[in-house]
A and B are shown apart, each in its own frame.
Chain A
Amino acid sequence: MLLQILVNGISLGSIYALTAIGYSLIYSILQLINMSNAAVFLTSAVIFYALYTSLTGSSVLLTFILTLMAAGAIGYVIEVIAIRPIREKGDSNTYALISSIGVKTILEQICQGTFGSEIKQFPTLLDGKYIDLFGARTSAIQIIIICTTLLILFFMNWFTQKNRVGRGLRALSQNLKACHLMGMPVNTLIGVSFAVGSMLAAVSGVAYCMYLKSISISVGSAIGNKAFAATVLGGIGELKGAVVGGYILAIAENLVSGYWSMSASNFISFGILILVLIIKPTGIFGKKEQKKV
């Protein structure tokens, strides 16, 4: 029983973690909670569905790659259209936050308009195949999700530590002004951070719908809000915090629904969110900023 809960928790946690990284990455650079992230989660799943059912039905991989590219482009464009003008005027982050909520609503409306409001069947991989892992029934798609997430986490670690662009993103999160002065292409890099966050949300969105084998219009805000709670739990602005927060939250939810009740599990995420905000708003990994003068 406990092992089954852990397997389910880790699968769901992978999905939270990927979306949570997007929130954390952008927050670390702009101190902005990019609410449009949850809508990109939904939009990507809808794009995947639309491509798969109309054009590329023969190949899940091709559909996935095209969806990723579309999500990256959407993220970049969101930054250019809705965030950059506010940033460059030097207006408060609250305006950018509200603007990102506007983008979220618009994307959700577009999805609803084109996709409709009913639940539809979503393509999945290796349907009906299971592995018995010491008594825990682990479906093939769960294993695929967990392995893909691990690969992405390794890639993100390499990207932010060793890659010129990824390192640039970390530099932005430490001192934006110094980045301007060093001649770094700050605007492009911020756009890239939105593209990366959106692509992670896309992986997460497609994976979640494959896991459920269905898609509906409400899927984005349900997971998006929980991923946001996970980000806060781990310490917003810390990428590893987003990952750890995602797994803790999902395992906690599965523990509650396994040993207590399904409906109570939905309170857990937001209960934890409120508790963290009251007790330690900086989360597990977050530290108070200390600046040397």
Chain B
Amino acid sequence: MLKVNNLHTYYGNIKALRGVSFHVEKGEILSFIGANGAGKSTLMNTLSGTLKPKFGEIIFEGEDITKLSPRARVQKGIILCPEGRQIFPKFTVEENLLMGAYTVFDKELNKRNYDKVFELFPQIKDRQKQLAGTLSGGEQQMLAIGRALMSNPKILMLDEPSLGLSPILVEQIFNLINEINKQGTTILLVEQNAMAALEISNRAYALETGEIIIEGTGEELLHNDVIRKSYLGG
């Protein structure tokens, strides 16, 4: 579905990605784990189109999208739910969701997606008219995911969705990611919380200083010695 070849991206003068190649299969949950500064967010930003790679190519459904704008990528079905949620604080929950549907002009589809978001996240359903800035961290994360789903994506990329959340909420968010996947959206996940990410992933890659060092199924990586030592606390 998505194929990335030899991606090199600079972040300022720092070479943040050093030749990353991988592929995403339709219907799977794929995750990237790695420490702070490993290049995870740079990878996400390059895939979403807000950062331009120096070399390499990104192929989505057989088409080279390396040079496309973020908007064109969203229209093709790739969207990033960014790190730190980045919701619109002065907008209501409803308005935030409408912004997620900026590329969708089919009113019927919008209505269906809107209802689907509240089915997934009943907590924010009662808060449709509430300003998003007043929501709790967990609710904001749900809203951010819901907003991304409003674009009707084929691949949903999630950058650190568990960041700053309590363990119970982390579990809840990961269950929901699983649920979204079951409903047919391919998931590309980036996480520092390697344990939680690997448990729900079909496949995973470990990223270190801009390079993929290990790849395998979620299960394999959970039992890999290097991964256990570096990311799972022994």
Which residues of A approach B to under 8 Å, CB–CB?
164, 167-168, 170-171, 174-175, 177-186, 291-293
Q: How many residues of B contact A (CB 8 A)?
A: 31
Mark B residues whose CB is within 8 Å of A: 48-50, 70-71, 73-75, 79-80, 82, 84, 86-91, 95, 98-100, 102-103, 133, 137, 140, 147-148, 151, 164
Contact indicator B102/A178 (Cβ below 8 Å): no
Instruction: Please classify the interface of chain A as helix (H, G, I), strand (E, B), loop, or mixed, using the class held by over half of its residues.
Output: helix
A185 adjacent to B71 (CB under 8 Å): yes
Instruction: Give chain B nearest CB distance to A159 CB in angstroms.
Output: 14
Question: How many residue pairs, one in A and one in B, have C-beta atoms under 8 Å apart?
Answer: 73
Q: Are A184 and B89 in contact (CB under 8 A)?
A: no
User: Measured between C-beta atoms, what is the minimum distance from B39 to chain A in Å?
Assistant: 19
Query: Are A292 and B75 CB-contacts (below 8 A) given A171-B88, A178-B86, A181-B48?
Result: no
Is the Cβ of B89 less than 8 Å from the Cβ of A183?
Answer: no
Distance in angstroms between the alpha carbons of A291 and B86 in the assembled complex: 10
Contact A183 B140 (CB under 8 A): no
Known: A177-B86, A178-B86, A181-B79. Contact between A292 and B102, CB under 8 A? no
Contact A183/B151 with A175-B88, A178-B88 known, Cβ cut-off 8 Å? yes
Beta-carbon contact of B98 and A167 below 8 Å = yes
B102 CB, min distance to chain A CBs, angstroms: 5
The smallest C-beta distance from A38 to any residue of chain B, in angstroms, reads 29
Given contacts A182-B151, A183-B75, contact A293 B164 (CB under 8 A): yes
Instruction: For B75, list chain A residues within 8 Å (CB).
Output: 183
Within 8 Å CB of B140, what residues of A?
A: 292
Q: Using Cβ atoms and an 8 Å threshold, which residues of chain B touch A168?
A: 99, 102
Q: Across the interface, do B50 and A177 meet the contact criterion of CB distance under 8 Å?
A: yes
Report the Cα distance A171→B99, complex, angstroms: 8
With A167-B98, A171-B99, A292-B133 already in contact, the answer to whether A181 and B82 are too (CB < 8 A) is yes
With A and B bound together, what is the CA distance between A167 and B94 in angstroms?
12
Q: Say which residue of A171, A180, A185 sits within 8 Å of B50 (CB atoms).
A: A180
**Whole-angstrom distance between the alpha carbons of A19 and B173 in the complex?**
47
| CB nearest to B151 among chain A residues | A183
* Interchain CA distance A63-B98 in the complex, whole Å: 38
26 A-B contact pairs sorted by A residue (CB < 8 Å): A164-B98, A167-B95, A168-B99, A168-B102, A174-B91, A177-B50, A179-B99, A180-B49, A180-B70, A180-B71, A181-B74, A181-B80, A182-B74, A182-B103, A182-B148, A183-B71, A183-B73, A183-B74, A183-B102, A183-B151, A184-B102, A184-B103, A292-B89, A292-B133, A292-B140, A293-B164
